[in-house]
Amino acid sequence: MSATYRPAPRRWRVPSIALLVLMVASCGSDNRLSRDELLDPETCKDCHPKHFEEWQSSMHAYAGDDPIFLAMNRRGQRETNGELGDFCVKCHAPMALVEGATTDGLNLDEVPQHLKGVTCYFCHNVTAVEDTHNNPLVLANDRTLRAGIDDPLNNGAHAARYSKLHDRDSPESAALCGSCHDIKTDAVHLERTFAEWQDSVFQTFTPNQTCGNCHMNGSDDVVADFDGVVPRRRHSHSFPAVDTAMIDWPGKDSQLQLIERELRDSVQTRVCYNPQTNAMDVTLTNIGAGHMFPSGAAQDRRVWVEITAKNADAITLQSGVIADDERIDQVDDPLLWKMHDTGYNADDEIEHMFWNITRIESELLPPSVTFQPEDPRFDHSVSRGYPLGANPRPDEVDVVVHMRAIDLAVIDDLIESGDLDPIYRERIKTFALEGSRQHWTPALAGQNLCVP
């Protein structure tokens, strides 16, 4: 284990005035912070500065401020005459709902910031998980904060307790994350990250790889700036994946870097020349994700392959070259290989809005289901041939995989209905998965005609 121990600080960090007043006022009690104070992530900042800073830059903190979320919820409430109710806000600002500060998310602008997003208190107060989807998490609503430490130091500010629902080394912890990362509507199983994980080798293998094993990196560190603490495994709270903040948001640049690193090696690419079919065969393997790739909001996500083949510098085959402001459903590119879910409505038209989706077609990269090389299911890669037509074997071929968190068609749909300000369109990022880049030449490919 790489020891990056920092000496445990021997003193308190300078506490905020509010905290000082409080400490003096309630001196003597064992956990002096009230439940109201524990609801506010700012309360945690003095003692857990790193957790705070990482969380603040995460999509969990941002979930109730996301202009795209607000636009979609607004439209959904209007189109369903309010039948959507608390469906969306239950996951995007659960404490605002618990505290009665909102019923449908339409007034989130006026809701105090500390109740928006998936907050510290929400995750750390869970005592039970009652189902597999649509946020069935039960809070104790007490003043005890739960996580994976079984011998927490007495801190005087709040009670702390071990919980297997929070410990990434315990299989139960996947249910805490998973049941919020899995959405069922009356018509469809819309987002399926938890279900996908349950079918993967990451769930069936012992010891299993929970969500936290991959999404909450551990480092040897103190977990609080507090007298007497010793280093433990501190868990990252940045949760980088693919969504980015569309507005000014704390830690935006560092989050972007983490996302690029996280995406880098998610998918492995192999490129071969096939002399039988005179085609370039591209093979993609989901090597990083413990579920499909893409996953979750896959009806909004777009992943596609860019390929360019050349002979003597003339392009003989090209697909997937898409400008940052270009819609992938509008390019004239019959060979385009894209991976995402497509939602359809009752009239069997393509549909972007959850509440109207009655059917889903899915084309995603599956995760591993076995670690046994002799098991036929071991190879879970997906291949596609790109015909070269009348052109000969190329001199060089370049391949890379791209990803967009939200399809521009969804954005345009929200702009057209007047729910989203057009300024957000150009803020949608297109990522290149750097680890997926392959450069093919006959020399690099050698006898088997493949790279790598």
Q: Which stretch binds ligand HEC (CB under 6 A): 58-66, 274-282, 304-312, 327-335?
A: 58-66
Q: Minimum Å distance from CB 49 to ligand HEC?
A: 9
Q: Minimum Å distance from CB 441 to ligand HEC?
A: 29
Q: Does 394 bind ligand HEC (CB under 6 A)?
A: no
Task: Choose between 19 and 309: whose C-beta lies nearer to ligand HEC.
Answer: 19
Q: Does 147 bind ligand HEC (CB under 6 A)?
A: yes
Task: Choose between 41 and 366: whose C-beta lies nearer to ligand HEC.
Answer: 41
Length of the chain in terms of residues written:
452
Task: Choose between 174 and 397: whose C-beta lies nearer to ligand HEC.
Answer: 174
Spatial separation of the C-alpha atoms in residues 93 and 219, rounded to whole Å = 29
Q: Does 194 bind ligand HEC (CB under 6 A)?
A: yes
Q: Does 69 bind ligand HEC (CB under 6 A)?
A: yes
Chain positions 15 to 54 lying near ligand HEC, rule: CB under 6 A, are 38, 41, 43-44, 46-48, 51-52
Q: Which stretch binds ligand HEC (CB under 6 A): 72-80, 333-341, 381-389, 435-443?
A: 72-80
Q: Does 181 bind ligand HEC (CB under 6 A)?
A: yes
Chain positions 277 to 336 lying near ligand HEC, rule: CB under 6 A, are 288-291, 293-297, 300-301
Q: Which residue's structure tokens are 């284990």? A: 1
Q: What is the CA radius of gyration of the chain?
A: 24
**Residue nearest ligand HEC (C-beta atom):** 296
Q: Does 424 bind ligand HEC (CB under 6 A)?
A: no
Task: Choose between 147 and 280: whose C-beta lies nearer to ligand HEC.
Answer: 147
**Omega of the bond leading into 171 within 30 degrees of 0 (cis):** no
Closest CA to 148 of 126, 128, 127, 166: 166
Q: Burial, 59: exposed, middle or buried (Cβ in 10 Å; 0-12, 13-18, 19+)?
A: buried
Q: Burial, 370: exposed, middle or buried (Cβ in 10 Å; 0-12, 13-18, 19+)?
A: middle
Q: Which residue's structure tokens are 């995007």? A: 92
Task: Answer for the pair 106, 73: CB distance below 8 angstroms, yes or no.
Answer: yes
Q: Does 190 bind ligand HEC (CB under 6 A)?
A: no
Spatial separation of the C-alpha atoms in residues 183 and 296, rounded to whole Å = 9
Spatial separation of the C-alpha atoms in residues 300 and 425, rounded to whole Å = 14
